[in-house]
Chain A
Amino acid sequence: MIIGIALFVFPFIYEDRSMLILFTQIFIFAIFAMSYDILLGFTGIVSFGHAMFFGIGAYCVSVMLKHHEPTMLLVTGAISLGVLFSLIISFVVGLMTLRLKSHYYAMLTLALAGLFLVAAEKWRTLTYGNDGFTFQVPEFFHDRLHFYLVCLVLMVIVYFGLKRFIQSPLGRILLAIKDNEQRAESLGYQVLHYKIIASIVAGGIASLSGSLYALSLRFVNTSVFTMDITLDALLMTIIGGVGTLIGPVLGAAIIELAHHWLTGLAKVHWIFERWLILFGIVYILAVMFFPNGIVGSVRKLVSKKEKKEDVSTSENIVKEG
């Protein structure tokens, strides 16, 4: 909570454009990573095609703004349209693919995301291919501060919305499916329906983050459909903590900040120009030693401490007795 308020106040105290933009990016990717965690952390679905929805959201907004007068109404409309598209596509895709078991599903999502990438490359009249295109954003967003606040608010809304979602009876079933699919089925839950619901929710929110991403750059090209985007989400979720909502937010912050500072360090030593290498090492170490991510590891430590205290108090009781 304190951090949240601090983030609201932050831009008014500290006026640095590049930091503002960096934080906006963090919020956007936090939304995206949270949506990915709904699949990975709460339902146990490994998808490599999540960039698909990100890209749909990005292109929906960009194309609409390119061809029409940029107004706030249009932006909201375009974002909603992107979300709607994503809902439909995730439903159809889910219906077709979610019957498959884990890695087969992962491969198929990879292929589908590839399909969207190729389509975006080839449909040059609409997307201008890999070169991409710039577009105008409404007056309101010309001020970076406004955009920063909008993204922050949306992130908070998504956070609490998803929190409610996973704590609903339906969310509990998703967790059960992650834990033991077969058992969930024999309790009378139609597993496929729940997986589709999860992927629809995740798809819609991913599209929202994609739209914001395009708005923040005022430019779009086919990179929004690439595997890198999905991998970023995967990385953020895993480093932050799978199966928690705050984890992806933290992960997004860490990765974006690290990205920013490591590239900044390039002047100091040439190795920082290859910051991806360092990142890979950190990633491997994280997966090996903190498989639960930051949040998961901290939680474990806390619960261990509590247990120890429990034991020591009970020992005291025994001694006194």
Chain B
Amino acid sequence: MVAILETKNLGITFGTHQAVQDVSFSVEKNEFKSIIGPNGAGKTTLFNLLSGQLKPTKGEIYLKGQQITGSSVVERTRLGIGRSFQITNVFPNLTVLENVRLAVQSQAKLRYQAFTHYRSYQKFEEKALHWLHVALLDHKENTLAINLAHGEKRKLEMAMLLALEPELLLLDEPTAGMSLEDVPAILQVIKKIKEEGDKTILLIEHKMDMIMDLSDRIMVLFNGKLLAEGTPREIMDNELVQSAYLGGLYDEFTSQS
């Protein structure tokens, strides 16, 4: 198997705080890998490093063997890394269709065409509608994104992500803040993507049952360090993980009270 993504001793420091330290891992092609860890373990920071929002202070990142440590967000997107955000991040004042259409347009590398009417690219619209269908958002195309319910916004985000047709998907808590009724729908979307089998997926999630069910492998982050890695079974049985995770949760409770 080929490693599509690989990091070597990846780390970032904010002031004196080491948010991520010495994380080395690799993701194989078409693998579904989840990252778990208590709040503040550095999961989202790790994602930010991978997608280019943050620059690491240490270590290297390779995509398909190519060094991308210094590449910008735009370059990485074009290379095939797509990410969803933990906080919903769409174009609020554009229609749902336009949101996805922009992603399709980017994927088609049509970036500086200024003279033809955008409607003359019918294909884009058809494709965008297709992705909306995949993300279970039929019949919503003319709604402004700002008027969507939270769960629908997350679905829209998935549709935009898919429309970029990335090889590597970084999903940052796709079900965060969602009502319980909405979760199965998103799960269904993720499952659909997984079943198609041509995407590599990296997922951050808190809902353990969901992770155990979907993942090929799981990584556990704790205090910015990679604590363990293995199949769901192995992780379940790992005592270190259990204590860290429970300990982490305990910390969280004390800090809140």
Contacts and interface: CB of A to CB of B under 8 A. Distances in A.
A272 interface: no
A171 B77 contact: no
Contacts of A33: none
A179 B119 CA distance: 20
Q: Which of A168, A169, A172 gathers most chain B CB within 10 Å? A: A169
B90 A188 contact: no
Given A172-B98, A183-B90, A165 B74 contact: no
Interface in A193-249: 193, 197
Best-surrounded residue of B89, B105, B110, B114 (most CB of chain A within 10 A): B114
Contacts of A175: 94
Given A186-B83, A187-B106, A187-B160, A180 B111 contact: no
A179 B117 contact: no
A187 B115 CA distance: 22
Contacts of B77: 186-188
Contact of B105 (A167, A172, A182, A193): A172
Contacts of A172: 98, 101-102, 105, 118
A159 to B, nearest CB: 16
B113 interface: yes
B110 A169 contact: yes
A190 interface: yes
A307 to B, nearest CB: 12
B46 interface: no
B71 interface: no
B117 A168 contact: yes
B65 interface: no
Contacts of B113: 168-170
Nearest to B112: A170
B14 interface: no
A206 to B, nearest CB: 18
Nearest to A190: B74
A16 to B, nearest CB: 40
Interface in A132-167: 164-165, 167
Contact of B92 (A169, A179, A185): A179
A128 interface: no
Nearest to A179: B91
A218 B128 CA distance: 54
B106 A171 contact: no
Contacts of A169: 105, 110-111, 113-114, 116, 118, 121
Contact of B106 (A164, A168, A188): A188
A180 B116 contact: no
A189 interface: yes
A287 B246 CA distance: 54
A165 B113 CA distance: 9
Given A176-B91, A180-B89, A189 B114 contact: no
Contacts of A183: 89-91
A190 B78 CA distance: 11
Nearest to B110: A169
A124 to B, nearest CB: 41
Contact of B114 (A168, A187, A190): A168
B169 interface: no
Contacts of A164: 115, 117
Contact of A180 (B92, B98, B103, B118): B92
Nearest to B111: A189
A173 interface: yes
Nearest to B146: A179
A230 B87 CA distance: 37
B93 A165 contact: no
Contacts of A167: 117-119
A165 B105 CA distance: 16
A189 B117 contact: no
Interface in B65-102: 73-74, 77-78, 83, 89-94, 98, 101-102
Contacts of A171: 114, 118
Contacts of A190: 74, 111
A260 B93 CA distance: 37
Contacts of A189: 74, 106, 111
A179 B83 contact: no
Given A182-B89, A189-B111, A176 B118 contact: no
B93 A179 contact: yes
B215 to A, nearest CB: 24
Interface string A78-118: 00000000000000000000000000000000000000000
B164 A187 contact: yes
Contact of A173 (B92, B107, B111): B111
Contacts of A187: 77, 102-103, 106, 160, 164
Nearest to B99: A176
A180 B91 contact: yes
Contacts of B93: 179
Contacts of B121: 169
A70 to B, nearest CB: 34
23 contacts: A165-B114, A167-B119, A168-B114, A168-B117, A169-B110, A170-B111, A170-B112, A172-B105, A176-B102, A179-B91, A179-B93, A179-B94, A180-B91, A184-B102, A185-B74, A186-B51, A186-B89, A187-B102, A189-B74, A189-B111, A190-B74, A197-B112, A197-B114
